[in-house]
Amino acid sequence: MDPLEVAQELLDAMLGYLGFAATVTTDASSLTLHVASHDGKLLIGPRGERLEEMTHLVNRLLLTRLPEAPRVHVDVENYLASRDYRMIEEAEEVAARVIATGRSLKLEPMNSYQRRLIHNHFKDHPSVRTWSPEDSARLKRISIAPRV
In this prediction, residue 14 carries a pLDDT of 96
Contact 132, 101 (CB under 8 A): no
- Strand 22-27 and strand 73-76: the pairing is unpaired
pLDDT < 50 positions in the chain: none
Residues with Cβ within 8 Å of 113's Cβ and at least 6 positions away in sequence, in order, are none
> What 3-state DSSP class applies to 24?
strand
In this prediction, residue 111 carries a pLDDT of 85
Contact 142, 112 (CB under 8 A): no
Cα separation of the two ends of the chain: 50
In this prediction, residue 12 carries a pLDDT of 96
In this prediction, residue 7 carries a pLDDT of 97
Per-position DSSP letters for 96-108, written without gaps between them: HHHHHH---EEEE
| Segment 52-69, tens digit of pLDDT | 999 999 999 999 999 999
> What 3-state DSSP class applies to 33?
strand
